[in-house]
Amino acid sequence: MSMLKHELVPIWDTQACKPKQDILEGKYLQAELALDLYTIAEGTAKPPYHNPESFFQATHQTTTLKQILQDVLSHLAGTRVVNPVLLFDAGFGGGKTHTMAAIYYAVKDPTNPEIKKILETTSIPKNIRTIVIDGSAYGGRGVKRGEHYYLTIWADFLHQLGKTKLALESDTPEGLPDRQTLTQLLKEQPTLILIDELPKYLDLVKDRPELLSKVKHFIHTLTLSVSEAEKCILIISVAGDVYRDAADAVRIELTEAMSILNRKMQSIEPVKTEDVPYILKKRLFDFINPKIAEATAKAYIQLYEQIKAPNHYRTAEYKNRIIETYPFHPELIDVLYQRLSTIPGFQRTRGALRLLAHVIHKMWNDREEDAFIIHPYHVDLASSEIVQELTIRLNEERYENAIKSDVYAEGGRKAKAQQKDEDYKSYFKAPLFRRACNTIYLYSLIGAKEEAKGIDTENLIAVLATPTKEEHVQYYRDRVLPTIADTFWFVEQIGNRYVFKKEATENHIIDQESQNVQNSTIITVIKTTLQELYTTEGKGHFFIKIFPEDPSEVNDNTDLKIAILNPVLGYTIAREEEVPDKIAQFILNRDSRGNPRIYRNNTFLLIAREGSWGNLRDIVARLEVAKDLAKDPEKYGIPHEKKKNLEQKVAQYKIAVNEAVRASFTYIVYATRRGRIEAKYFRPSGYGTAKPGQEILWQILSKDLHRVTNEPLDPEYIKAEAWPKQTQETTTRELYENIHKISGVILPETQSLFEQTVIKGVEIGTWVLIQQNKVYAPENPPTHVRISSDTFLLLPEEAGRRNHTDPRGHLCPKCLTWPCQCSKLTGIGPISLSTAELTRSEMEIFKEWEEFELMRPKLLLEDLEKWIRRESIETITEAEIQMTGTSDIAIQFRNLIRLVKAGKKVSTIVEAKASTDDTNLKLDVRFKADDAGLETPAAKILDDIARWSLQKFEGTIKLKTEDLRINELKQLLETTIKAEEQNIKLGLKIKPKRER
């Protein structure tokens, strides 16, 4: 669509359109608005309607107008007989006066070149009298003709026939001329009688019943007389949507008169719907470029295809409609003539012309870059003239306050759409909120039932969309319309429709009551939302601490952790380059006294964006008020039938709160390699709103900042970054702690990943591991690693110097020892040595106990499986099983005891302890039991502990037996303990039964 976009020309460009000069000057078609039949007949009409030539040049010649002119002049010439009584029956602005003016000029000057173009071969009548009676010309004293005032329309009629004396004598209710007199007068000469705005005259005399009844009788009589006389035409106009009673009275009299003559009254609507665009274009513009109209239509059809607008927008017929109505959007024409025209007081064509003149004047001043066609939203309520047209002139003054509240207000406090457009100005680059409100308001103006008011979402999006700003469509869907529905006072979403209301909706109550919601309540909701986003959804990569009051509440240990700071306490960031000291202290210090934090590298902060608190507070407060309204609508004066809508609004607000929290906390703060505290801004929307919070944070820290990983690290990297300087050895504990202490080092997600890193380092010869008096080198890497202060890592040279390995850090590949013991080994197969033959270092090869340190059950069971296969051990004589976690694992611990003892000759000692450090409760439970105490008392204690939900539980089972198969023990552990649980850690010490 890029080529079409490039070709598009805004309508205010002189290549596209040129409005009438008086519109550009803000005169708003003074001649058009002043047009009435009285000024035409008196010769006082303003240009271009002051003479026949300019009048017809400014008039769009509809098929109906041509036919009426030909029929009227043929009848007056006597060459064709037509129905002599015509009723122009249309709403205000239906083209009645304009058509009468055209007939008047055509009869007065039929040889004028402009008129001859229309009449073609029609016979030209001669010596025609014209009678013009305009009901709007009468005042309290009547209408002035020469030196005389005439109160009655029949006296005025007689005066225009040249019967001044008779007119003066007849200007009373009793002076009404009879049918015979009228017929004789009309037979004297061909006569055109134009009676415009008759219902206005009837309304003027409605309080004089004696005169009112005579007027009706005169119309009745005149109809009969015109029908009897030859070469006479009577044309009367009525507006069906104002002065309804008077209009109905005229219709009745005409219908009855025609029925007497066995004729059917001919009612004509001068302007057809299909004529409207051409009339508007003719009267409002001097020039419209048809090529640009076609290019614009193509662009809009492609736009509607792209955004999947409702089907009728995407047809060839609709493309032709755009070309036909250009520079007006077809929907604007429809809303004016199908919706506004149903409101009493809206003068269809004349009202539309006046309204559109204001619209065009404003558009040509604003010169918006995406104004390729005049949309319904260009009927801009930011214009006081347009507001007046659509409120006071329509007797809809009650909408004025609604417009000032939600759409546009001059001076003082801004309306909601105004403020929102200001907030999003740099982002939207167009007043999308006001455009949406303008459109909704226009579609809500209809003289019909309530359910017909407003516009549905899909049509609303379609009429708001423009070809060069397709992104606006998503803005409307995601931000503009939801915000309007949730927060604007006078726009209500009813199902899928948006309706502008005269009375404030429940949003008004929510707005007012939300100011009274306490900050403590709001903080609680935000904390709960953060809890759901960052601790209960998805995988738990980090320990999360929400709203710590000072650094001491953020543990200083080797856990990966993120503290979310409270924006209410001023913990916010304006931009990445500036991290306030009060925020940095949470990483630099471990308490409020300034004691340095040891583990800075694994401490991250999630901070709210400066200025986000106001919006976040507002949304949460609205949610809390909406909950109250949904519980008891009647308490707030809201009908009970709106309860369901309010419940839906609560659900929407919950989603909005979730999104607002995500959108507010957008800075991750961390310590850099240089020891500085820096911030990284991120947009949660860029990571998908459905993704759990911890997953977003993990992606930022792992992919963007490269601070964490879920894979084993490169041992050489760890050696370079975390190995103690100028030393040849360290412990696994020290190395593990160093990566958490030294800022900028990449952190493994779990301790297990670090253990795998150590194992990998042994495998590739980065270091040598001394664990439980056993040497591990590339020839015999360990299956698991203990993180402790008595598990050593030596650089290969140091291991060689100490004679643990050869000088390069290797063992004998055959006997897996150093010094090599191959010369002392006999036989083929498993090595069998007597202890008397072995040195101390040789005895360490066959250590008495094998230990698996505390780790997640799944990892321990995997390590145990590897160890069994490597060592070829089948039975054990002793075992010590350790479990830690929260107290709910006590049930698993109890079941393990029961299964270990079931059907076996096993001596068992059990120890367990549970405790809690809650502020309001201190509890410490310990017990130790042997075989005798394990049946009932211990089991009951463990059941109780499980129910108490305590923070800490530790349990140990010590077993002694003559012969326990190692695979049987492994199976017991797999059966009893939930291997995937994150809050359980399992440790194991076993004493293998070895054959010497």
Residues 612 and 718: beta-carbon distance below 8 Å:
no
User: Which position has the higher pLDDT, 538 or 618?
Assistant: 618
Helix residue ranges, H only, 407-491? 416-423, 425-428, 432-444, 457-464, 471-475, 481-487
Length of the chain (residues):
996
For residue 848, CA distances in Å to 27, 36, 213, 788 come to: 106, 117, 127, 20
Mind listing the pLDDT tens digit for each residue in 262-306?
555 677 777 777 888 888 898 899 999 999 999 999 999 999 999
Rounded Cα distance, 88 and 691, in Å: 66
Q: Two tokens at 696?
A: 């977003």
- Residue 970: phi and psi, rounded to 5, are -60, -40
- Residue 4: phi and psi, rounded to 5, are -65, -40
pLDDT score for 64: 86
pLDDT score for 15: 95
pLDDT score for 834: 36
Q: How many CB atoms lie within 10 A of CB 365?
A: 11
pLDDT score for 92: 45
Rounded Cα distance, 509 and 193, in Å: 60
Provide long-range contacts, Cβ within 8 A and 24+ apart, for 721-728. 721/745, 728/794, 728/795, 728/797, 728/798
Residues 577 and 640: beta-carbon distance below 8 Å:
no
Per-residue pLDDT, averaged over 57-63, amounts to 83
Mind listing the pLDDT tens digit for each residue in 395-435?
888 899 999 999 999 888 899 999 999 999 888 999 999 99
Residues 124 and 76: beta-carbon distance below 8 Å:
no
Please give the helix or strand (H or E) that residue 529 lies within, else none. helix 519-531
Helix (H, G, I), strand (E, B) or coil at 717: helix
Q: What is the dihedral of CA 854, 858, 860, 866, to 10 degrees?
A: -170
* DSSP type of residue 452: G
Residues 131 and 191: beta-carbon distance below 8 Å:
yes
Residues 340 and 351: beta-carbon distance below 8 Å:
yes
pLDDT score for 534: 86
User: Which position has the higher pLDDT, 502 or 5?
Assistant: 502
Task: Identify the residue whose tokens are 């429940």.
Answer: 506
Residues in Cβ contact with 561 at an 8 Å cutoff, skipping those fewer than 6 apart: 542, 543, 544, 545, 554, 555, 602, 603, 604
Mind listing the pLDDT tens digit for each residue in 327-375?
999 999 999 888 887 777 676 667 788 899 999 999 999 999 999 999 9
Residues in Cβ contact with 820 at an 8 Å cutoff, skipping those fewer than 6 apart: 812, 814
* DSSP type of residue 338: I
Residues in Cβ contact with 633 at an 8 Å cutoff, skipping those fewer than 6 apart: 639, 640, 642, 643, 646
Helix residue ranges, H only, 229-268? 244-260
Region for 243 from its dihedrals, namely left if φ exceeds 0, alpha if ψ lies in -120 to 50, beta otherwise: left
pLDDT score for 268: 78
The string of DSSP codes covering 339-381 is: IGGGSTT--HHHHHHHHHHHHHHHHHHH--TT-SSB-GGGS-T
Residues 650 and 627: beta-carbon distance below 8 Å:
yes
- Whether 1 shows a pLDDT value over 80: the answer reads no
Q: How many CB atoms lie within 10 A of CB 13?
A: 15
Q: Two tokens at 325?
A: 């109505």
For residue 515, CA distances in Å to 13, 518, 522 come to: 48, 8, 11
Per-residue pLDDT, averaged over 226-246, amounts to 76
The string of DSSP codes covering 741-762 is: HSTT--EESSHHHHHHHHHHHH
End-to-end CA distance of the chain: 84
* DSSP type of residue 229: S
Please state, rounded to an integer, the average pLDDT across all residues of the chain: 86
Burial state string for 149-159 with b = 16 or more CB within 10 A and e = fewer than 16: bbbbbbbbbbb
Q: Two tokens at 513?
A: 């009551």
Confidence tier at 733 by pLDDT (50, 70, 90): very high
Helix (H, G, I), strand (E, B) or coil at 854: strand
The string of DSSP codes covering 545-591 is: EES-SSGGGS--SSS-EEEEPPGGGT-EESSTT---HHHHHHHHBSS
User: Which position has the higher pLDDT, 451 or 28?
Assistant: 451
Q: How many CB atoms lie within 10 A of CB 761?
A: 25
Longest dimension (CA), the chain: 158
Q: Two tokens at 515?
A: 């100011």
- Whether 724 shows a pLDDT value over 70: the answer reads yes
* DSSP type of residue 243: S
Lowest average pLDDT, out of 570-584, 824-838, 882-896, 964-978, goes to 824-838
Mind listing the pLDDT tens digit for each residue in 662-714?
999 999 999 998 889 999 999 876 554 546 788 889 999 999 999 999 999 99
Residues 69 and 106: beta-carbon distance below 8 Å:
yes
Convert 484-512 into a string of H (helix), E (strand) and C (coil). Answer: HHHHCCCEEEECCEEEECCCCCHHHHHHH
pLDDT score for 918: 63
Q: CA angle, 275 as apex, 339 and 75 as ends, to 5°?
A: 120
Lowest average pLDDT, out of 546-555, 868-877, 933-942, goes to 933-942
Per-residue pLDDT, averaged over 65-80, amounts to 90
Residues 107 and 128: beta-carbon distance below 8 Å:
yes
Confidence tier at 922 by pLDDT (50, 70, 90): low
AA letter at 28: Y
Q: Of the candidates 350, 392, 394, 276, which has an alpha carbon nearest to the alpha carbon of residue 31?
A: 350
Rounded Cα distance, 92 and 200, in Å: 12
Mind listing the pLDDT tens digit for each residue in 843-857?
444 457 888 878 888
Rg, C-alpha atoms of the chain: 47
pLDDT score for 995: 57
Per-residue pLDDT, averaged over 755-762, amounts to 96
User: Which position has the higher pLDDT, 879 or 947?
Assistant: 879
β-strands 665-671, 677-681 pairing: antiparallel
Per-residue pLDDT, averaged over 449-473, amounts to 92
Mind listing the pLDDT tens digit for each residue in 776-831?
999 999 988 999 999 999 999 999 999 999 999 999 988 888 988 887 654 433 33
Helix (H, G, I), strand (E, B) or coil at 4: helix
Of all residues in the chain, the percent with pLDDT exceeding 70 is 90
Mind listing the pLDDT tens digit for each residue in 498-522?
999 988 888 888 888 888 999 999 9
Task: Identify the residue whose tokens are 């902060």.
Answer: 605
Task: Identify the residue whose tokens are 């709203």.
Answer: 547
Confidence tier at 842 by pLDDT (50, 70, 90): very low
Residues 94 and 269: beta-carbon distance below 8 Å:
yes
For residue 415, CA distances in Å to 432, 433, 564, 919 come to: 14, 11, 35, 49
Q: CA angle, 890 as apex, 887 and 891 as ends, to 5°?
A: 130
- Whether 749 shows a pLDDT value over 70: the answer reads yes
Task: Identify the residue whose tokens are 């459905």.
Answer: 690
For residue 363, CA distances in Å to 357, 409, 936 come to: 10, 19, 89
Q: Of the candidates 955, 961, 923, which has an alpha carbon nearest to the alpha carbon of residue 942?
A: 955
pLDDT score for 866: 82
Q: Two tokens at 844?
A: 């360490």
Angle between helices 519-531 and 643-664 (to 10 degrees): 70
Task: Identify the residue whose tokens are 């459109």.
Answer: 439
Q: Two tokens at 40?
A: 């035409």
Q: How many CB atoms lie within 10 A of CB 700?
A: 20
Angle between helices 732-741 and 751-763 (to 10 degrees): 120
β-strands 677-681, 768-771 pairing: unpaired
Please give the helix or strand (H or E) that residue 732 lies within, else none. helix 732-741
Q: CA angle, 944 as apex, 941 and 949 as ends, to 5°?
A: 130
pLDDT score for 126: 87
Q: Two tokens at 978?
A: 């939930």
pLDDT score for 247: 55
